[in-house]
Amino acid sequence: MALALQAGFLLHQYDYQDSSLILDVFTHVAGRVSVVAKGVKQQKSPYLGLLRPFVPINISYFGTGSLKTLGNIEQGNAEFILAGNNTYCGFYLNELIRYLIPSGEPYPDVFVNYLSCLQVLKTSHKVESALRTFEIQLIQSLGYGLNLECDVITGKAIQAEENYRYMLEQGATLDCAGALKGTTLIAMHRQSYSEQSQLNQAKWLMRQVIDFHLQGKILHSRQLISKFKQTSSCKIN
């Protein structure tokens, strides 16, 4: 099967034989695809400058197996230049896509959300909110569900003034000793945060949810952020 030039982003790459690379690419049409780029490490390769994270590319490949062969790469629109610690936030997005999205299945909504989040990382200070929104949208796109509207036991709407606990495979339920405020769950559902405490609680909950679905996989971007003592503009931890 051959794919015509399609919009995509490089998520990750690693060496293959002496002069080639395996590319993990996220495309708008086909989702996440592994592609072998033969001879691309040679000095005269026209593709070297394009094989960088956060650079929009148009890519074609061919092959019927799980590992495709690169046909062509062209640069898309202007790249997303991420400053400082926002670079590691971008790597975090890439790892979420690599580890959670199955290969060969299209997720055009996640692709659009990825573009939107990169734009915030490039231009805005509201990075923390954008990361939480991307996480929530990703989990929902994967079909895992994230009940943020109703008490999973009583069926009643989440009440702003109440406390809740969140059961990862079910949802939120009323609990006077719960770690989550109703205002946080409402803010997460609306994807609009008015207080830092809401963002802090949303970060805590989404870490539990994501770690549950990662099933033991390690996000190296978290380790990088910890190592370099990233600033408050990027709350992943």
Query: Hey, which residues does 10 pair with through a beta bridge?
Result: 25
Residue where one domain finishes, among candidates 23, 41, 75: 75
Q: Are residues 134 and 223 in the same domain?
A: yes
Q: Is the Cβ–Cβ distance between 85 and 113 less than 8 Å?
A: no
Q: How confident is the model at residue 109 (pLDDT cuts 50, 70, 90)?
A: very high
Residue where one domain finishes, among candidates 52, 75, 98: 75
Q: Are residues 129 and 219 in the same domain?
A: yes
Q: Are residues 51 and 92 in the same domain?
A: no
pLDDT at 43 over 80: no
The C-alpha atoms of residue 146 and residue 184 are separated, in whole angstroms, by 14
pLDDT at 233 over 60: no
Q: Are residues 16 and 92 in the same domain?
A: no
> What does the pLDDT read at residue 78?
75
pLDDT at 45 over 60: yes
Residue where one domain finishes, among candidates 21, 45, 75: 75
Domain count, the chain: 2
> What does the pLDDT read at residue 125?
81
> Would you say residue 81 lies in a domain?
no
Q: Are residues 92 and 173 in the same domain?
A: yes
> Would you say residue 235 lies in a domain?
no
Decide which of 180 and 1 is more confident. Answer: 180
- The pTM (predicted TM-score) of the whole model is 0.90
Residues 6 or more apart whose CB falls under 8 angstroms from that of 57 comprise 7, 8, 9, 10, 25, 50, 73, 74, 75, 76
Which residue reads 């890439």 in tokens? 94
Q: Are residues 102 and 217 in the same domain?
A: yes
> Would you say residue 196 lies in a domain?
yes
Q: Are residues 58 and 155 in the same domain?
A: no
pLDDT at 15 over 80: yes
Q: How confident is the model at residue 120 (pLDDT cuts 50, 70, 90)?
A: very high
Which residue reads 């790469």 in tokens? 73
pLDDT at 225 over 80: no
> Would you say residue 11 lies in a domain?
yes
> Would you say residue 234 lies in a domain?
no
> Would you say residue 213 lies in a domain?
yes
Q: Are residues 90 and 181 in the same domain?
A: yes
> What CATH number is given to the structural domain containing 142?
1.20.1440.120
Q: Which two tokens stand for residue 194?
A: 């008015």
pLDDT at 212 over 60: yes
> What does the pLDDT read at residue 230?
45
Q: Domain residues for 30?
A: 2-75
Q: For 136, how many CA atoms within 13 A lie in the half-sphere containing its CB?
A: 22
Q: Are residues 111 and 39 in the same domain?
A: no
Q: Are residues 180 and 102 in the same domain?
A: yes
